[in-house]
Structure 1
Amino acid sequence: MNKHYQKGMMAAILSNILFAVLYLYSGWLKPMSGTDVFAWRMVMMLLALWAGVLLFGGWQSLRVFLQSLGTNWRKWLIVLLPTPLFAFQLWLFMYAPVNGMGVDVAMGYFLFPLMLALGGRVFFKAQLNGWQKWALAIATVAVAHELWQTRAFAWGMWAVCLGYPPYYLLRRYAQVPAFFGLLIDLSVIAPCALVYLAMSGKLVQVADWSGHFFVLIPLLGVISAVALGLNLQANKDLPVPLFSMLSYLEPVLMFVVAWLFLGADVSVNSIPTYGLLMVALGLSLVDGCLKMRRERKNHKLAMAV
């Protein structure tokens, strides 16, 4: 395994661990509500990202990208159209763990890659292979079972698995670089979050914070920015199949965190649903392994020629 693989593997694993840590953050910052934590995360994360741009470079590339948009309102509309979807997902990520929805949202993240694959098939005509078709079919059976046994769906799961893919599909359509897209998103979301903190009186309450809040709140932005940076580094250093495969670590950790640390109740009647989703996940991982093996074999053949 070369150095790029090693660095990428470590970056991917560490970023997903940090995302799981963030899932616990709302509990650590009680009595703040999940919405309060979300607002502070947006503000602090934006500050951390801009600090990263200024300290480590990237300003020139950002300027080139902004110049490519210019004053073309259609280009800006395509770039900004997914921002509300992203804001909602970031809010839900902080709201769910402290409002009894930790497992529901984790299951939404299990379904998210499959829904994204389906969206790619519908909107970008991406071909699904046999493994992917079976994974989607089994996931569909799991969803149907949950509907049959509960006569309802947890809205948190729906919000993630159906609400998050459009953000990625729109970003792909607009061909917006991931880091710059996030910076633009947060430059829109963070001022709104700051207005919320001001109007709700949360800014005034800073004077009443406990000592650990002055450490945890800035760390919230730093951890978010570092997790994103590591995730982007892994995306750069690893082959797509391997990166996609490692991305499933996040919902697994979220599920474990919600179950073991947040006291989420897992219904016995829902075990078949979770089991089927795990099977669908397993098929996706097998597909990723096979793709990675083929890529490495083709690379060796190309090097031998």
Structure 2
Amino acid sequence: MFKGVALSVLASVTFGVLYFYTQFLKPLDSEQTFAWRMLATLPFLTLFMWWSGDLKHITEIFKRIFKEPWMLPWLIFSSLLCTTQLWLFLWGPINGRGLEVSLGYFLLPLVMVLVGCVLYKEKLSRWQIAAVTFAVIGVGHELWRIGGIAWETVYVALAYPLYFFMRRVLKTDHLGGFWWDLFLILPVAFYLGFVHSDSLVLMQYYPHLIWAVIGLGLFSALGLGSYILASRYLPFVIFGLLSYLEPVLLAFASIMLGERVEAAEWLTYIPIWLAVLLLVIEGCLHIMKQKRSSRMLTQNIENVSNRLDRE
């Protein structure tokens, strides 16, 4: 569990950095940025998988495609669900829709918790119930405030749970499955990067873009790889609730990029931050409890050993 929590936190922090990182990719537009993100992420992800020993999962899926041809259309659908989310993640801050996208990430954990409780029969602790309550208040206030819900928000909130659920059903919920998600979208990335745009010309005029794209691939591989691994190690409910750290960081990044939080919006963000705080407190208490249990176990073993020595 601790490994999954650490990976989830690492992914959220990396995504927060990436949201702000888009400013270094100007004057690339959102489609060009998406294309180069896919092209740059796959090599770094492959290196990451070589280091972690997960390369075998790529060939396992390749063999499954030949044995079970029906898998290929579902893998393509999985790739579209994943990569359109990655496109939207970059499109939002570049086009001044960062807060709408971040609201989708506020709503996403609630949907993940619902999926975990309904489909996987996972139980919530008291701390988690309190966190969900605060989250519902915050998200509910925002929906009431704006009188509706933006399409960016809906897509983020619904497509990701479907994506993770389908990966578990297909048994591709590992880095190999994610590698195939990126690999299958490469034709689109090549088209957007080399045919549909003048991004190579822009790189000649703005040499910093070359380093920015390399950094984009490195950060993306680190964040997305950690996120995928966390989804494998954690129950659906815990994975969903920990995802609340990401929208908090995305909101801060959007503010740093010039978007403003109006006075009426604070009733959205404050309950969300309280929900994250409750999860942090629960995590700290859980770690302290584990340490106490470990110390007690060590003491018991020492006591038994001493009695045996005396006897």
Pick the aligned partner of 1:250 from 246, 251, 254: 246
- The answer on whether the counterparts of 1:24 and 1:257 sit within 8 Å (CA) in structure 2 is yes
Check if 1:278 corresponds to 2:311: no
SS in 2 for 1:164: helix
CA-based RMSD = 3.7
Which amino acid letter does the alignment assign opposite residue 145 of structure 2? Q
- CA distance 1:54–1:280, change in 2 (3 Å): closer
**Displacement after TM superposition at 1:263 (Å):** 0.5
Q: 1:218 aligns with which of 214, 219, 222?
A: 214
Q: Does 1:38 align with 2:34?
A: yes
In the alignment, the residues of structure 2 paired with residue 252 and residue 215 of structure 1 have an alpha-carbon distance, to the nearest angstrom, of 28
Q: Deviations over 1:18-74 (max 9, x none)?
A: 322211232211121122111110111112223445677544443234334543133
Q: Where does residue 85 of structure 1 map in the other structure?
A: 81
Q: Aligned match of 2:192 in 191, 196, 208?
A: 196
The number of residues matched between the two structures is: 300
Q: Secondary structure at the match of 1:37?
A: helix
1:238-263 deviations in Å (ceiling 9; x for gaps)? 9999987765443332221111x201
- Identity fraction in percent: 31
Q: Is the 8 A contact 2:24 2:209 kept in 1?
A: no
Instruction: Give the distance between the partners of 1:233 and 1:163, measured in 2 at CA.
Output: 19
Q: TM-score, normalised on structure 2?
A: 0.78
Q: Say if 1:132 and 1:284, in contact at 8 Å, map to a contact too.
A: yes
**2:263 maps to which residue?**
268
Does the aligned pair in 2 maintain the 1:82–1:167 contact within 8 Å? yes
The letter for the 1-side match of 2:264 is N
Distance 2:57 2:142 in 1: 47
- My pick for the range that moved more, 117-126 or 273-282, is 273-282
Q: In structure 1, what is the equivalent of residue 151 of structure 2?
A: 155
- Runs of at least 5 residues in structure 1 that lack an aligned partner in the other structure: none
TM normalised by structure 1 equals: 0.80
Residue matched to 2:70 = 74
Structure 2's unaligned 5+ residue stretches are 302-311
Aligned equivalents of 1:298 and 1:234: distance in 2? 25
Structure 1 pair 291/85, CA: closer, same or farther in 2 (3 Å)? farther
Q: 1:136 to 1:204 in 2, by over 3 A?
A: same
**Residues 8, 234 of structure 1: 8 Å contact kept:** yes
1:86 to partner: Cα distance: 0.9
Question: Conserved in 2, the CA contact under 8 Å of 1:242 and 1:292?
Answer: no
Of 245-254 and 148-157, deviating more is: 245-254
Instruction: State the SS of the aligned residue for 2:102.
Output: helix
CA 1:156 to 1:236, structure 2 compared with 1: closer, same or farther past 3 Å?
A: closer
Please state how far the C-alpha of 1:185 moved relative to its aligned partner: 0.1
Structure 2 match to 1:179? 175
Q: Is this contact kept in 2: 1:46–1:190, CA < 8 A?
A: no
Deviation of the 1:222 alpha carbon? 2.0
Contact preservation (8 Å) 2:104, 2:152:
yes
Per-residue deviation, 1:290: 5.3
- Distance in 1, Cα, partners of 2:6 & 2:209: 29
